[in-house]
Amino acid sequence: MSRNVEIETPPVALTVAGFDPSGGAGVVADVKTFTAFGCFAVAAVTSLTFQNTTGVFGAVHQSAEAVRAQVVPIIEDFRVAGAKTGMLPTREIIEEVARLFREDSLPAPVVDPVVRSTSGYDLIDDRALDALKKELLPLARVVTPNVAEAERITGLSIRNEADMIEAARAIRGLGARAVLVKGGHLEGATALDVLDEGGAVKTFSAERIETDSTHGTGCTLAAGIAACLARGLTLEESVARAKQFVTEAIRRAPRLGKGNGPVNHAVAAPVSRTQRDGG
């Protein structure tokens, strides 16, 4: 006799980002992270990049219409519980993505404002950055820039925790509900991040691991936050657990590639797969 097996329906998490064929960043990293946190991953690709662990060598961008055409069938079929954006390379794509998130069927996204690769390749021009600031940041649940990205968005110089707090406040002034400035690029014994949520500031610190295996850490952190939000955690809880996941993923990196290697997305995520809607 067959038995009825009760299977939990996972929350659906959407990423709208670029495709990294080497698998360490972008849509591929997001999907692996969503899965680690017990979400069902769906995705729209904004750009086909040509890269590996040593650098980015070019990209072919999708049209704004192509991005919309990928997202609409998803939201017509699934209830999306969490979302994040990554590489949005053109003004037209950013404006189209903002229109999608202004529609009622998508939750406020985690916006990872990808502007430059670790190897120094510019992934967004000034017109697109202007559109990002005006169109998408005001829709964000949280914006997650690293120090270099926060400096480009605000024009400020960031050297320490006080500067990070000032930058977070400035970006929140553009309309975002919350901003997480990631301090992993600053020197120090710990990797410090600063969260400004509605003016309330919280810091998160973790052991700094000396390694070259940092490819895709920003994508992974943002995806982890989006997955935790999809599962009903608060923003503060989501940031803490996503940061814990990234730290362990770096610690147990697979040591692949000749450059900045990928992290290990197969580590156990610090959230119960049955945890949902705060339960």
CATH number reported for the structural domain that contains residue 171 in this entry: 3.40.1190.20
Residue 181 near residue 164 (C-beta atoms within 8 A) = yes
Q: How many independent structural domains does the chain possess?
A: 1
**Residue 17 vs residues 30, 152, 226, 248: alpha-carbon distances, Å:** 9, 20, 13, 24
The residues carrying an active-site annotation are: 182, 214, 216-219
What's the pLDDT at 101? Answer: 97
The stretch 196-205 carries a mean pLDDT of: 96
Mean of the per-residue pLDDT values of the chain? 91
Whether 123 is in a domain gets the answer yes
Whether 275 is in a domain gets the answer no
* pLDDT tens digits along 235-269: 999 999 999 999 999 999 999 999 999 999 999 88
* pLDDT tens digits along 132-151: 999 999 999 999 999 999 99
Whether 4 is in a domain gets the answer no
The boundaries of the domain holding residue 218 are 12-251
Whether 278 is in a domain gets the answer no
Whether 49 is in a domain gets the answer yes
* pLDDT tens digits along 204-220: 998 888 888 889 999 99
Higher pLDDT, 133 or 273: 133
**Tokens 């270099």 -> residue:** 148
The DSSP symbol for 132 reads I
The CB density around residue 5, as the number of other CB atoms within 10 Å, is 5
Angle formed by the axes of helices 147-154 and 161-172, nearest 10° = 50
pTM of the model: 0.93
Whether 3 is in a domain gets the answer no
| Segment among 3-7, 124-128, 198-202, 223-227 with least mean pLDDT | 3-7
What's the pLDDT at 124? Answer: 79
Whether 205 is in a domain gets the answer yes
**Residue 136 vs residues 14, 60, 112, 190: alpha-carbon distances, Å:** 16, 22, 11, 31
List of E strands, the chain: 12-19, 40-52, 55-61, 80-85, 110-111, 142-143, 178-182, 190-197, 200-207
